[in-house]
Structure 1
């Protein structure tokens, strides 16, 4: 999928194009970057216990440094460009997570806000430069607009993808299929003559939920309909290695380099201006169909799908002492859970429901990620703690009664020693 370009560069100093040619390699490495961004952020945030806000601050600083490096290049360099994409994917994801988990902003509002923000960025970009094509990134203002748009697309893709999961209750593996199908439709429309700039940015947005869900599917516990159980660290290492190998290949072969900005005014390979609006109609109809599918899925009973499949909670009638509950689990993991639950206590003391929601999400993610490791060690103890977790999640997300929340948090902390 390629995009059109315009010859207008304005009064800014022009340099060689700062982004790669859009080839199959572009889309491959874009999805790899998106996936590793999701899994690596989860690993730092949850597995290392850094926390959501601290992780966001760290990556914001890293993003500023890496983006400065990219902006000071005079041409496209694979290492600088793709490192920036990896970091911006993590950063955009974290911003959405902070809104959702820390501030308690509903996902439909986050999706709407980021959608409007992206429209504003594109509007200002078009008004100033008269092109949104990535083949025309030959001045500093255009590159600044480009990276701002990329950042917002990651935040938007995160919000829209998470909202989809919230509406449907689909597992990570199943949730991959919707963005994959929409990308296939957009690709078919592009091949049939659709506006390449529009097709490019639509596909770019959709690769975010596609890559994130793929990462979740690989890292999620190896239980029915969930994932392959690789964990966030192993998933991150695999995809970082794939990214590194691809970047090295592109650096050596230069197969994705647009050498000269003076040749920008060219005809896109498949573009057929007379077919633009009919194909816009096809893509719009596909979006409507996706909305109908999500609406239907939302109406189906899917709350706590795992519990429905398992039947009665096997830990409901189990009684264990704190020592028995954690005796067979790694001490480092138990200590990490205690730290996360103590954060909930602090949030309750401050009467900060938004922060409490985020702390509960962090704990749930850590617990679910470790299921494949902990459950085989002591199935009875795992079920016992999991039952307490369910009581905690219900008290925070449904009842939201401070006393009930405090009782659930104190009970869990007592079990964890």
Structure 2
């Protein structure tokens, strides 16, 4: 058994390394999550409540598959990310649209809940690193944090868009600029890597959602008018292609680990 502070090998860690393709798929998953939720709730006429119940049930199944593997399996991991992005968004949408909670309140509330999650996680495990997710308890903390980052990102993104009324594209560029500043701070002044990761993870949600809305919404609302169906299908195809590539690379890495262990 691994000691509490032992760094796992890539095959032991249950989540992927943070690479360029990680961020690409994450952004596309967020974008697709936004448009897919709109498609189910609006285009198919399921409504917010029914869509939330359906997607929560599907997410539970996906997370069960993810936990069952006890290692990083690209298709299972990214399926869970896509679905948790949808559910995290729907939680905020339900609070705002169905229960009348103000965006300012939801933004503050999810900030507090996320901070509490990190505090309990750190108190329990003495680390918030995503490179050491090799126990079920750490993975539970990880997915809870992921869920609340999506809910917080939804609330914060909608708050900025509605408060300043600057449109989807400008909102996306604004959050993209903030992420770029975080990356520069990490690179130039050595901002803590764990803090930089989680800040960027939160902000990629409103970034991706803004571009998703920009692509899918009609021109009279500031979008390009592609519609939620085509936008979702485009990003689904890109996600599948990248996950297939990740699967091939992950299989090759696992084979290398096996060969090294046998020497």
Superposed pair shares fold, TM > 0.5: yes
The one of 168, 191, 194 aligned to 1:194: 191
Give, in angstroms, the shift of residue 9 of structure 1. Answer: 5.0
Could you tell me which runs of 5 or more consecutive residues in structure 2 were left unpaired when the two chains were aligned. 258-263
1:93-137: per-residue Cα shift (whole Å, max 9, x none)? 000000000000000000000000000000000000000000000
> Conserved in 2, the CA contact under 8 Å of 1:17 and 1:258?
no
The one of 57, 78, 100 aligned to 1:82: 78
Residue 168 (str. 1) matches residue 175 (str. 2)? no
- The separation in 1 between residues aligned to 2:253 and 2:206, in whole angstroms, is 27
> Conserved in 2, the CA contact under 8 Å of 1:16 and 1:260?
no
- The separation in 2 between residues aligned to 1:251 and 1:77, in whole angstroms, is 7
Could you tell me which residue of structure 2 aligns to residue 95 of structure 1? 91
1:127-161: per-residue Cα shift (whole Å, max 9, x none)? 00000000000000000000000000000000000
Residue 70 (str. 1) matches residue 66 (str. 2)? yes
- The separation in 1 between residues aligned to 2:146 and 2:134, in whole angstroms, is 17
- The separation in 1 between residues aligned to 2:71 and 2:40, in whole angstroms, is 32
- The separation in 2 between residues aligned to 1:229 and 1:52, in whole angstroms, is 22
Give, in angstroms, the shift of residue 228 of structure 1. Answer: 1.1
The one of 135, 152, 158 aligned to 2:148: 152
Give, in angstroms, the shift of residue 248 of structure 1. Answer: 0.4
Give, in angstroms, the shift of residue 8 of structure 1. Answer: 2.4
Please report the TM-score for the alignment, with normalisation by the length of structure 1. Answer: 0.58
Could you tell me which residue of structure 2 aligns to residue 232 of structure 1? 228
Q: How do 1:377-396 residues align onto structure 2 when only pairs under 5 Å count?
A: none
1:307-345: per-residue Cα shift (whole Å, max 9, x none)? xxxxxxxxxxxxxxxxxxxxxxxxxxxxxxxxxxxxxxx
Could you tell me which residue of structure 1 aligns to residue 24 of structure 2? 28
- The separation in 1 between residues aligned to 2:98 and 2:256, in whole angstroms, is 46
1:270-329: per-residue Cα shift (whole Å, max 9, x none)? xxxxxxxxxxxxxxxxxxxxxxxxxxxxxxxxxxxxxxxxxxxxxxxxxxxxxxxxxxxx
Task: Give RMSD over aligned pairs.
Answer: 2.1
Paired residue secondary structure (1:20): coil
Q: How do 1:210-359 residues align onto structure 2 when only pairs under 5 Å count?
A: 210-223=207-220, 226-254=222-250
The one of 202, 209, 234 aligned to 2:206: 209
Give, in angstroms, the shift of residue 259 of structure 1. Answer: 9.2
> Conserved in 2, the CA contact under 8 Å of 1:219 and 1:227?
yes
Give, in angstroms, the shift of residue 258 of structure 1. Answer: 8.5
> Conserved in 2, the CA contact under 8 Å of 1:9 and 1:139?
no
> Conserved in 2, the CA contact under 8 Å of 1:92 and 1:155?
yes
Give, in angstroms, the shift of residue 253 of structure 1. Answer: 1.9
Structure with the greater relative contact order (CA < 8 A, sep ≥ 6): 1 or 2? 2
> Conserved in 2, the CA contact under 8 Å of 1:34 and 1:208?
yes
Mark the CA change 1:255 to 1:164 in structure 2 (over 3 Å): closer, same or farther: farther
The one of 164, 180, 193 aligned to 1:184: 180
Max Rg structure: 1
1:227-284: per-residue Cα shift (whole Å, max 9, x none)? 11100010000000000000001111229969999xxxxxxxxxxxxxxxxxxxxxxx
- The separation in 1 between residues aligned to 2:254 and 2:163, in whole angstroms, is 42
Give the length in aligned residue pairs: 251
Residue 39 (str. 1) matches residue 35 (str. 2)? yes
- The separation in 2 between residues aligned to 1:155 and 1:38, in whole angstroms, is 12
> Conserved in 2, the CA contact under 8 Å of 1:35 and 1:214?
yes
Runs of 4+ residues over 3 Å off in structure 1: 255-261
Could you tell me which runs of 5 or more consecutive residues in structure 1 were left unpaired when the two chains were aligned. 1-6, 262-417
Mark the CA change 1:28 to 1:91 in structure 2 (over 3 Å): closer, same or farther: same
Paired residue secondary structure (1:72): helix
Give, in angstroms, the shift of residue 23 of structure 1. Answer: 0.5
